[in-house]
Amino acid sequence: MENTTRLGCGYDFRLRSEARGDFLAVEVKGLKERTGTLAFTPKEHRVAKALSNRFFLFVVKNFAESPFHEIYQDPLGGNLQFKKMERAVVHISWLATV
């Protein structure tokens, strides 16, 4: 198992299979309550789509009381319904010439 959180590859952990020569990707998300909304970045979504059944979503739920987890293999092709959300962000700055 390899921690890939600092690599920016679209998932948090890589599980390698020496026998098969491939890997599984695991993305970890957390929810404070038993249910809630989670988001994929564009890269996470793209990688989940590309890896399909080799991509796993590990969700830790109910941090506020008694945590438990659920695992979703191929979250984009399974029972979860993802909706695309687009949002424009306004960035304000002040410039000075020196």
User: What does each of the 98 residues of the chain score in pLDDT, given as a tens digit?
Assistant: 999 999 999 999 999 977 777 899 999 999 999 999 999 999 999 999 999 999 999 999 999 999 999 999 999 998 899 999 998 999 999 888 89
pLDDT at residue 59, as a whole number: 96
Q: d(Cα 11, Cα 75) in Å, to the nearest integer?
A: 13
pLDDT at residue 14, as a whole number: 96
Write down the domain spans for the chain: 2-73
- Judging by beta carbons within 10 Å of its beta carbon (0-12, 13-18, 19+), is residue 56 exposed, middle or buried? buried
Q: To which H or E segment does residue 49 belong?
A: helix 42-51
pLDDT at residue 71, as a whole number: 96
pLDDT at residue 96, as a whole number: 85
Extract the runs of DSSP E, i.e. beta strands, from the chain. Answer: 2-3, 13-17, 22-30, 55-61, 68-73
Q: What is the pTM of this model?
A: 0.85
pLDDT at residue 97, as a whole number: 86
